[in-house]
Amino acid sequence: MSSLRDKMAAKKDAIAASKAGGVKTYKFKVGKTLIRILPDRLDPVNGEPWRDYGQHFIKDENDNLFAVIGDKSLVTGGAETCPVREALLAAAKGAPQELRDHIFKKVIAKLNHISNVAVLGRVGKDNKLVQDPDAPSDTPVLVSWSPNQLSELIDIFTMYMDNGEEPFDLAGGVTIMVTREGTGQNDTKYTYNAYPRKFPVKPEVMEKAYDLDAWIAATFKEGAARALEGIAKITGSIAGPVGAAAAALTAPPSGAANASLAKPAEKPALVSTVVDDEIDLGVDEAVLVEEAEYAEVVVEAETPAATAPAAAETVTLSESDVEALLSDL
């Protein structure tokens, strides 16, 4: 029988999951933004400040979205298989080239990494630091990094650690300048530089940090019937070994630990830490101020993670329909 303490712990986990579920990741705007990557909530000294994750976006070639569901194999570093991934790979084997391209480019999950970030501000006119109205400096946001992006950041952090510094220390950690160029899917480019000035983060900011494990667990909440229906619609049949039970599609991976990011055998060239000469943020100029001209949202190509499922375009299956689909597995 569960103790009251266990029940309270379970309730706290449920609250954290509710808070994290559905939170969209922050998108850097065109220009230069200063950030601090925040340390792990539970182990700020030795814990990794990011987690591995991936999501399948089950949608047809007209971008009608039927389901979004996490990939167990990416979250667990391959310790668990993902029935949805297996089904999609099996469907792609015998599919026409156009459908294969669609599955691999737009549907099947890709490895990404999520972290809590404090957005210090954007470098605005006269090189002043201007607060981003979409991300107040005292409120963390979630940022998703590709493996290449995170690898570049790790090189910067490692260089500071080799010099005896703690890159995620709230008082004296490393400030990163993110420079974004372009807005389209094919012309957007990000570069990362260590900024020489320190920007301390108040401890109260960490109290608002998201539970990364709860956020990832929320990616498995889509219903099995919805995922099966979507795969059937884009492939014409339920292809591949989807799993022994529908629950396997939505149950979060076992264990709380995520696999550590594997570093490449050959270390890539370090990202330059030299900051452009025209960026000179003095103490007085670094005061965060809001300016109306920076309140507009830059139009940019959204990633699938920022797209809500188009429920109106989904055909709802009855229980008997779902049972019929599962019986064919």
What pLDDT digit, counting tens, does each position of 57-66 carry?
999 888 889 8
Asked if residue 166 belongs to a domain, the reply is yes
pLDDT number for residue 21: 60
Q: Look at the alpha carbons of 287, 27, 181, 153 in this order and tell me if their dihedral is positive or negative.
A: positive
Asked if residue 157 belongs to a domain, the reply is yes
Would the pLDDT of 175 be above 80? yes
Tell me how far apart the alpha carbons of residues 144 and 253 are, in angstroms, rounded to a whole number: 20
Q: What is the pTM of this model?
A: 0.69
pLDDT number for residue 19: 59
- The pairing of strands 141-145 and 112-123 is antiparallel
pLDDT in tens, 118-170: 999 999 888 889 999 999 999 999 999 999 999 999 999 999 999 999 999 99
Residue 75 burial (10 A CB sphere; 0-12, 13-18, 19+):
buried
pLDDT in tens, 91-105: 888 889 999 999 999
Asked if residue 31 belongs to a domain, the reply is no
pLDDT in tens, 33-61: 999 999 999 999 999 999 999 999 999 88
pLDDT number for residue 58: 92
Q: Give the N- to C-terminal CA distance of the chain in Å, as an integer.
A: 37
- The pairing of strands 31-37 and 129-130 is unpaired
Q: How many domains does the chain have?
A: 1
- Per-residue pLDDT band for 108 (boundaries 50, 70, 90) equals very high
Q: What is the mean pLDDT of the chain?
A: 74
Asked if residue 35 belongs to a domain, the reply is no
By residue range, what is the domain housing residue 135? 40-279
Contact 27, 183 (CB under 8 A): no
**Which residue intervals of 125-256 are DSSP H helices?**
147-162, 203-206, 212-218, 224-235, 247-250
| Maximum C-alpha span of the chain | 68
pLDDT number for residue 3: 80
pLDDT number for residue 228: 72
Mean pLDDT of 86-93: 87
pLDDT number for residue 256: 39
3-state secondary structure of 25: coil
pLDDT in tens, 187-237: 899 999 999 999 999 999 999 999 999 999 888 876 556 777 788 888 775
Comparison of pLDDT for 18 and 232, the residue scoring more:
232
Asked if residue 310 belongs to a domain, the reply is no
pLDDT number for residue 50: 97
CATH of the domain at 184: 3.90.198
